[in-house]
Amino acid sequence: MSAYVIAAIFLALILLAGYLFLSHSIEKRRVQRQRLITALRARRNSFRDLATGFPAGFLSNDLTALLYRALIDCCEQLSRLEPKDPTHAEQLSLYTNLLATQKDSSQQARARLDNPQQIKEAHSLLHELHKFVMQQSALHLINQVQTEAYLDQINRLVLQMSVDGHVFNARQSQQVGKVRLAVHYYTLARKALVGENTGRGFEKQIAQLDSIIAKLQEKADATPEGTETPAAAQAKSATATDNSSSKEWKQFDEENEKWKKKQIYD
């Protein structure tokens, strides 16, 4: 009897160990599945906001197409992981149609962000897109030429937003007559372009900023300290200075529109 009892105990231990191993494996797969779902949902939401949450023309056609393809991939994976959720199939159809429509559309004029909160949000979302491109490159899902082209466009867009943010602050300063503060912000915009100018062809934009800064600096030097405080004087000074520099800045905007993007072939 003792041998049968020992054998039964031994068998029970084997079955228990097998059950625990199986339970652990099932739980591990469940956790991994849930993590994947959470990551896919987060990526889908971020890329959706970047693709559709900003003015038309903010992103290049290449980056917009990249986002739509990433969204389609997310929806396909979520449809397999959560087949009972009909929203995944609906969104898959939506982004597939948007990608098809986007391929037939021409590049719109670049939209400028002048809202600090929008600029901050766009920076964060573009950082996620940058990481996604690097992941796709590491997995050899896009080649080196595509990787460099996407990263170049993302970096240019980040630079544009940085410059636009400084210019927005400069114009706000001009409107209240703070000429020296406007010079400071325009100088920051110039420094941002100079720092990235190697081989990028920003010379004309820098020259336009130099012209604006020179005129504002001349205005500031001709204005005695303390005379910019009264609101009426501020408004008058801002209007006069803004008019004198509007032509230069219009030309600066036109030059921005001429920035060349690399073409991407899938």
Q: CB 62: neighbour CB atoms within 10 A?
A: 17
* Closest to 39 in 3D by CA, of 64, 67, 73: 73
- Tell me, what's the pLDDT at 224? 63
What pLDDT, on the 0 to 100 scale, is given for residue 52? 87
* Terminal Cα-to-Cα distance of the chain (whole angstroms): 74
pLDDT value of position 1: 54
Confidence of residue 198 (pLDDT cuts 50, 70, 90): low
For residue 43, pLDDT over 90 is answered with: yes
User: Do residues 47 and 67 lie in contact, with contact meaning Cβ atoms separated by under 8 Å?
Assistant: yes
- Is residue 125 very low, low, confident or very high in pLDDT (cuts 50, 70, 90)? very high
90-110: per-residue pLDDT in tens?
999 999 999 988 877 777 777
pLDDT of residue 244: 46
* Between 234 and 143, the higher pLDDT residue: 143
The number of beta carbons lying within 10 Å of the beta carbon of residue 157 is 20
Q: Is 177 left (phi over 0), alpha (psi -120 to 50) or beta?
A: left
Least confident segment among 4-13, 163-172, 184-193, 245-254: 245-254
Give residue limits of the domains in the chain.
Answer: 1-104, 148-266
Q: Which of 59, 33, 32, 36 is nearest to 47 (CA)?
A: 59
CA distance linking residue 254 with residue 187, whole number of Å? 20
Does residue 78 register a pLDDT over 90? yes
Task: Kindly tell me the sign of the dihedral angle through the C-alpha atoms of 159, 162, 165, 171.
Answer: negative
Q: Give the tens place of pLDDT for each residue, 178-192.
A: 889 999 999 999 998
Which of 263 and 83 is assigned the larger pLDDT? Answer: 83
pLDDT more than 90, % of the chain = 41
What is the per-residue pLDDT for 117?
86
